[in-house]
Amino acid sequence: MPQFLVCLGSTAARAVFARDVKVMRERGSIVATPWAEQTLITVHPSSLLRLPDSESRAREFTRFVRELALILKDVEPSPSTGRAR
């Protein structure tokens, strides 16, 4: 089983959870699913490009990176390369 899965946006989250997912409400949530020990719900990166101004884009990009870091902190390095697998 994969260690983690990232649902980028509502379409991906709906496919994984088999229900409507309110990404803006559930954003940053990490839950176990049949496909991965940790499944993160977050926005699709293209949504950040559609924000109305540079301040909003910068703020939401920072939030997006923080959400990805929630998963990455638990990634185990590969024994052969020392990099995350």
- pLDDT (tens digit per residue) in 37-75: 999 999 999 999 999 999 999 999 999 999 999 988 777
What would the two tokens of residue 75 be? 């990634």
Least confident piece of the model among 2-6, 24-28, 69-73: 69-73
Cα–Cα distances (Å) from 36 to 12, 13, 39, 47, 65, in that order, read: 14, 13, 6, 25, 20
What would the two tokens of residue 20 be? 């409507």
How far is residue 46's CA from residue 14's CA, in Å, rounded to a whole number? 17
